[in-house]
Structure 1
Amino acid sequence: MNNSGKYFENVDWIMMWDATKDTVYMTAISVLVTFILGTFLGLLLFLTTKGNLWENKPINTIISGIVNIFRSIPFIILIVLLIPFTTFLLGTMIGEDAALPALIIGAAPFYARMVEIGLREINKGVIEAAKSMGATTSTIIWKVLLPESMPALISGITVTAIALVGYTAMAGAIGAGGLGNLAYNYGFQRNQNDVTFVATVIILIIVFIIQLIGDFITSKLDKR
């Protein structure tokens, strides 16, 4: 290990930088896919409820059930349950890419509910006005629902992204890489508290940056 002073003598800063990049990579990819998949699921949940454009109770019940099941499974258990699927998909359960299926499947249902809540807050009169002017369903989705709910969607994905940073740390503890892996294997198991401390501080910095970006975008989009 590189000696970086008496306070952080066990910290290998090159390894710490690589772990930081791995955590940012896992978070960025999973947030992007979660935003797309969660928005799609949230729209389906909203549109198939009673009185909405695609009212369909059986489909709504099925989607709602799937979302509730995967949203309720603790993430560490979900990782273990998905080991066969991840191994089949990627050929391995070790590394940053191997963490992505569990991260996305764990976060997308959570975000889908936030999307549904955001859509429900839209003034019904705006939707009815668009329908009365002959707008198609796709036009209502792209020109009314998504733009009107965008502040809530960005606020929701910010919360989800912060949760995903925590998920990457848990995934790292079982071989996914990143700061969680470093903190567990080199900090906890080797009793090197300075490694754990630095990894924790970097995770907190990542969380603060995500929150600042999310708050900034939300404030710019919010017309109220």
Structure 2
Amino acid sequence: MGWWVLHVDLDQFIAAVEVLRRPELRGRPVVVGGDGDPGRARQVVATASYEARASGVRSGMPLRVAARRCPEAVFLPSDPPAYQAASARVMATLASVDTEPWVARSRSRETTFAEDLTDRDEIAGHVAALARALGASVVADGRQVTHVAVKVRFASFATPTRVMKLRGGPTTDLDTIERAALAVLEKFDLTGRRVRLVGVRTDLLAPR
């Protein structure tokens, strides 16, 4: 039996969903992020169409900067429920052409702060809460966690990620997941740095 490869380009997925809902935007530069108002502070690009990227617009960039780089772009607010619904349809379609059921290999959560944080204890509190909530969701679905990763976005928009393999092996213990996330956070140098976003990712053991 020969092998075959299915390549699906989801690089501008969110922008594609918006264009599908608004066909008149096809071929135009589209930027999606925040509430869609580049005049407001602390709004960042979630994704941009290829036409907008040609002008230098990138994910994670402040909307104000995106507007300067591509003033003719159409700015739209993020609509996560619509993207989740579209993603479910895409994954269902992919599953229908695959002999193996599709299962998530990881799951993540993140939070963006209204004001940058500098207090390590406060940052750690958010990471712990994210890890426990994420772990509860994963365990409720009958999955086990093998690795825990933490992402930190600084005021400069640098966004490093660190990851740790659980030494005790796959687990469903929420305390273990939370402790691992806090241990990963210790790998970051937060001294004198302003943090605008933190995220936690769990890598999951493949179901049998």
Alignment TM-score > 0.5, same fold: no
| Structure with more helix by fraction | 1
Greater gyration radius: 1
> How high is the TM-score relative to the length of structure 1?
0.30
| Structure with more strand by fraction | 2
> How high is the TM-score relative to the length of structure 2?
0.32
